[in-house]
Amino acid sequence: MTKERCIPSHVAIIMDGNGRWAQQRKQLRAFGHRAGLKAVREIVSYAASIGIKVLTLYAFSSENWKRSSSEVSALISLFIYALNRETKNLHKNNIRLNIIGDVTRFNDQLQSMIFKAETLTKDNSGLILNIAANYGGRWDIMQSVHKITQKVKNGELRLDEITEERIGAEMSMGDFPDVDLVIRTGGEYRISNFLLWQIAYAEFYFTDTFWPDFNQTQFDNAINEFNQRERRFGAVLTEELTC
Ligand code: IPE
Ligand code: IPE
Ligand code: MG
């Protein structure tokens, strides 16, 4: 009997390589970002169809502001365009959309669109789609610490109540399971300040494929590779873990 494939509950993806994909085609970097949006659509719908519970996509890091103002504006315009165009569709497909990151740096129009999209989809019971925008793993730890210290200051929390669970609960996605699988496209082997706390026991999958070329088949390859891994969580494996 063949073993059934285990579908990771939470997959997080560093969608890298849009710029190089465009450069190879002698196009502007923004062209690559637009092509990347197509790959996002395909991967979101495939993730929902195979029963992934949480999909977290790194769209814009807290360090990406260092890029040229034209590239930053192109990325923000694309984000607005995608929210405008895709929110209804996500809702129709029972997908719950969350934006993680410091959204206060975005203009009022974008902040209000984010709020509307999250509110519209908040009760959906299908795939949870987190888009990391102006996100940094260090920022996330810092904002959790801020919330906790505020509670201590207000007398709502004692020092001995600051546990790992408590810190984790105040992080972005504190109410979702930890990440099982991190995928990075684009050939780099680094985390680039993406999730830090939430990946403590994640498996990593790196591919040279540029994000605009990442498709269902490649996603399947990553999940198949994940199925070959033996997750031990620090213990000595005595029997096969179920997923
Ligand atoms: C990832 O692609 C998208 C963002 C960081 C917004 P890049 O724009 O980093 O593409 P490369 O790595 O330069 O090819
Ligand atoms: C990470 O890619 C950020 C996103 C994919 C959104 P970068 O292209 O910004 O990462 P570095 O600069 O190569 O580390
Ligand atoms: Mg890059």
Q: Which pLDDT belongs to residue 50?
A: 98
Our CA angle for 15, 18, 21, nearest 5°, is 130
> How many beta carbons lie within 10 A of that of residue 140, not counting itself?
26
Ion ligand 3 — residues with CB under 5 Å?
A: 16
Which residue range forms the structural domain that includes residue 218? 10-137+179-226
* Alpha-carbon dihedral sign for residues 211, 217, 218, 219: positive
Would 167 be classed as within a structural domain? no
Q: Which pLDDT belongs to residue 240?
A: 64
Report whether pLDDT(2) > 70: no
Q: Which pLDDT belongs to residue 1?
A: 52
Report whether pLDDT(28) > 90: yes
| Cut 0.85: pTM above it | yes
Residue nearest to atom 12 of ligand 1 (CA): 17
Report whether pLDDT(205) > 70: yes
Please give the C-alpha separations between residue 10 and each of 6, 51, 66, 147, 210, in angstroms, as whole numbers. 12, 10, 29, 25, 22
Q: Which pLDDT belongs to residue 4?
A: 84
Would 150 be classed as within a structural domain? no
132 pLDDT tier (thresholds 50, 70, 90): very high
Would 151 be classed as within a structural domain? no
Give the chain's mean pLDDT.
96
- When pLDDT is averaged across residues 198-221 and rounded to a whole number, the result is 98
Give dist(CA 69, CA 225) in Å, integer. 39
Q: Answer whether 20 contacts ligand 1 (Cβ < 6 A).
A: yes
Report whether pLDDT(146) > 60: yes
Q: Answer whether 18 contacts ligand 1 (Cβ < 6 A).
A: yes
Would 60 be classed as within a structural domain? yes
Q: Which pLDDT belongs to residue 243?
A: 65
Tokens of 57: 């996509």
Would 113 be classed as within a structural domain? yes
**Neighbour-count burial for 34-57, b at 16+ CB within 10 Å, e otherwise:** bbbbebbeebbebbbeeebbbbbb
Report whether pLDDT(242) > 80: no
CATH of the domain at 57: 3.40.1180.10
- When pLDDT is averaged across residues 205-230 and rounded to a whole number, the result is 98
- When pLDDT is averaged across residues 203-229 and rounded to a whole number, the result is 98
Q: If you write DSSP's letter for every residue of 132-169 in order, what string do you get?
A: EEEE-HHHHHHHHHHHHHHHHHTTSS-GGG--HHHHHH
Would 240 be classed as within a structural domain? no
Report whether pLDDT(230) > 90: yes
13, 14, 15, 20, best to mutate for ligand 1 pocket (most atoms within 8 Å of CB): 20
118 pLDDT tier (thresholds 50, 70, 90): very high
Would 100 be classed as within a structural domain? yes
Let me know if 16 is a catalytic residue: yes
- When pLDDT is averaged across residues 214-231 and rounded to a whole number, the result is 97
Taking the CA of residue 14 as reference, the ligand 1 atom at the shortest distance is: 1
241 pLDDT tier (thresholds 50, 70, 90): low
Domain count, the chain: 1
Contacts 24+ apart (CB under 8 A), 105-113: 105/65, 105/134, 106/76, 106/133, 106/134, 109/80, 110/76, 110/79, 110/80, 110/83, 113/80, 113/83, 113/84
Report whether pLDDT(238) > 90: no
Q: Which pLDDT belongs to residue 237?
A: 80
Would 213 be classed as within a structural domain? yes
Give the ligand with the smallest distance to the CA of 21: 1
Q: Answer whether 64 contacts ligand 1 (Cβ < 6 A).
A: yes
